Structure 1
Amino acid sequence: MRTTRLRIGLTAALAALALVACGGSPTATNGVPAAGGGAAAGQAEAVFAELTALKGQQRRDELVKRAKEEGQLALYTSMTSDVADAITKAFTDQFDIPISVYRAGSETVLQRVLQEQSAHFAGNDVVETNATELAALEREGYLAEYKGERRDLVPEAGRFPRWTATRFNLFSPGWNTGVIDSVGGPPKTWEDLADPRFDGKLSMELSDTDWYLTLYEYWKQQGKSDAEVDKLFADMAQGAQITKGHTVQVELMSAGQFAVAASAYTYIVERGKQDGAPIEYAPPVQPVIARPNGVALMKSATHPAAAMLFNDWILDEGQKVIADLHLTPSIIQGNDPLAGVQIIPVDVNKVLDENAEWSKKYEAVVSGGSPASN
Structure 2
Amino acid sequence: MSHRSALAALGAAGLLLLSGCGGVPTAGPAPGSDQPTAAEAVYAEIGALNGAERRDRLMQLAAEEGKKLSIYTSLNADIADIVVPQFEQATGIDVDLYRADSETVLQRTLQEASAGFAGADVVETNATQMAIIAEEGLFGTYRSEYRDKVNEQFHYDAWTPTRFNIFAPAWNTNLVGPNLVPHSWKDLADPEYDGILSLEVSDYDWYMTLYTHFRQEGMSDAEIDQLFADIVKGAKVAKGHSGQVELLSAGEFGVIAASYTYLTEKARSSGAPVDDKPLVEPVVARANGAGLLRSSQHPAAAMLFLDWMLSDGQKIILENGLTPSVMPDGSDPLGDLKVLPVDVQQLIDEGSQWSARYDEVIRGGEQLPER
Normalized against structure 2, the TM-score is what? 0.91
Moved more, 142-151 or 52-61: 52-61
| 1:82-128 deviation line (CA, Å, top 9, x unaligned) | 22222212211211212111111111111111111111111100011
Whichever residue aligns with residue 222 of structure 1, its letter is: E
Whichever residue aligns with residue 217 of structure 1, its letter is: T
Q: Are 1:5 and 1:114, in contact at CA under 8 Å, matched by a contact in 2?
A: no
Indicate the residue corresponding to 1:221 in structure 2.
Answer: 216
Whichever residue aligns with residue 292 of structure 2, its letter is: L
Whichever residue aligns with residue 243 of structure 1, its letter is: A
* Structure 2 gap ranges (5+): 28-35
Q: Are 2:160 and 2:291, in contact at CA under 8 Å, matched by a contact in 1?
A: yes
Moved more, 327-336 or 87-96: 327-336
Moved more, 89-98 or 355-364: 89-98
Indicate the residue corresponding to 2:309 in structure 1.
Answer: 314
Q: Are 2:161 and 2:325, in contact at CA under 8 Å, matched by a contact in 1?
A: yes
Indicate the residue corresponding to 2:104 in structure 1.
Answer: 108
Does the residue aligned with 2:120 lie in a helix, a strand or coil?
Answer: coil
Please, which of 69, 80, 85 is the counterpart of residue 81 of structure 2? 85
Indicate the residue corresponding to 1:30 in structure 2.
Answer: none
Asked if 1:151 is matched to 2:147, the reply is: yes
Q: Are 2:130 and 2:159, in contact at CA under 8 Å, matched by a contact in 1?
A: yes
After TM superposition, the structure 1 = structure 2 runs for residues 13-32 of structure 1, keeping only pairs within 5 Å, are 14-22=12-20, 24=22
Q: How far apart in 1 are the matches of 2:141 and 2:349? A: 22
Whichever residue aligns with residue 294 of structure 1, its letter is: G
Aligned-residue Cα RMSD (Å) equals 2.3
Indicate the residue corresponding to 1:363 in structure 2.
Answer: 359
User: Is the alpha carbon distance of 1:283 and 1:338 closer, same or farther for their aligned partners in structure 2, counting shifts above 3 Å?
Assistant: farther
Does the residue aligned with 2:119 lie in a helix, a strand or coil?
Answer: coil
Deviation at 1:9, TM superposition (A): 9.8
Please, which of 129, 134, 141 is the counterpart of residue 133 of structure 1? 129
Deviation at 1:5, TM superposition (A): 3.4
Q: Are 1:144 and 1:297, in contact at CA under 8 Å, matched by a contact in 2?
A: yes
Does the residue aligned with 2:169 lie in a helix, a strand or coil?
Answer: strand
Asked if 1:294 is matched to 2:293, the reply is: no
Deviation at 1:52, TM superposition (A): 2.1
* Structure 1 gap ranges (5+): 27-33
**How many equivalent residue pairs?**
360
Whichever residue aligns with residue 5 of structure 2, its letter is: L
Q: How far apart in 2 are the matches of 1:339 and 1:76? A: 30
Asked if 1:161 is matched to 2:157, the reply is: yes
Asked if 1:345 is matched to 2:327, the reply is: no
Flag as ranges the 4+ runs of structure 1 deviating above 6 A. none
| 1:199-227 deviation line (CA, Å, top 9, x unaligned) | 12111111111111111111112221111
Deviation at 1:349, TM superposition (A): 0.9
Does the residue aligned with 1:283 lie in a helix, a strand or coil?
Answer: coil
Whichever residue aligns with residue 5 of structure 1, its letter is: R
Indicate the residue corresponding to 1:31 in structure 2.
Answer: none
Does the residue aligned with 2:180 lie in a helix, a strand or coil?
Answer: coil
Does the residue aligned with 2:212 lie in a helix, a strand or coil?
Answer: helix
Q: How far apart in 1 are the matches of 2:316 and 2:163? A: 11
User: Is the alpha carbon distance of 1:337 and 1:52 closer, same or farther for their aligned partners in structure 2, counting shifts above 3 Å?
Assistant: closer
Does the residue aligned with 1:175 lie in a helix, a strand or coil?
Answer: strand
Does the residue aligned with 2:164 lie in a helix, a strand or coil?
Answer: strand
Q: How far apart in 1 are the matches of 2:254 and 2:85? A: 37
Please, which of 247, 265, 290 is the counterpart of residue 260 of structure 2? 265
| 1:127-160 deviation line (CA, Å, top 9, x unaligned) | 1111111111111111111111111111112211
User: Is the alpha carbon distance of 1:116 and 1:336 closer, same or farther for their aligned partners in structure 2, counting shifts above 3 Å?
Assistant: closer
Q: Are 2:118 and 2:295, in contact at CA under 8 Å, matched by a contact in 1?
A: yes
Whichever residue aligns with residue 85 of structure 1, its letter is: D
User: Is the alpha carbon distance of 1:35 and 1:252 closer, same or farther for their aligned partners in structure 2, counting shifts above 3 Å?
Assistant: farther
User: Is the alpha carbon distance of 1:251 and 1:8 closer, same or farther for their aligned partners in structure 2, counting shifts above 3 Å?
Assistant: farther
Deviation at 1:163, TM superposition (A): 0.4
Percent identity (aligned): 48
Deviation at 1:362, TM superposition (A): 0.8
Whichever residue aligns with residue 139 of structure 2, its letter is: L
Does the residue aligned with 1:311 lie in a helix, a strand or coil?
Answer: helix
Q: How far apart in 1 are the matches of 2:37 and 2:90? A: 29
Whichever residue aligns with residue 168 of structure 1, its letter is: F
